[in-house]
Amino acid sequence: MMAYTDLLNPDAGLMAFTFAIVQTATFIVVIAISIEGYLLRPLKPIERVLAIAVVPWVLFNPLSTGFVGVLVILGLIGVQWKTRAVVAA
């Protein structure tokens, strides 16, 4: 799979280059979460489906959906963190 980012553009500025690195790292982490089925604890089936569905949202940043994908993943982390604390108590 090949996705165009500013990492491929030699004329990209430092900010665009940094953003492309962060976006790529986020994409790799989201794919790893969805494939492994584990974040802070094992994912429930609906959480795993949500993590898989978020992958294109993080990838398609020109449509400004990248931020939506990141927000969904942060929400998933928050839910897992909260339920992990409840289970541990």
Angle at Cα 68 formed by Cα 20 and Cα 29, nearest 5°? 55
The residue count of the chain comes to 89
Per-residue pLDDT tens over the stretch 40-88: 888 888 888 888 888 887 777 665 666 777 788 888 888 888 887 665 5
**Where are the domains positioned within the chain?**
13-88
pLDDT digits (tens, 9 = 90+) for 6-52: 666 677 778 777 877 777 787 888 888 888 888 888 888 888 888 88
Q: Are 40 and 77 in contact (CB under 8 A)?
A: yes
Question: Nearest Cα to 56, choosing from 43, 69, 44, 47?
Answer: 69
Only one residue has tokens 């940043």, namely 61
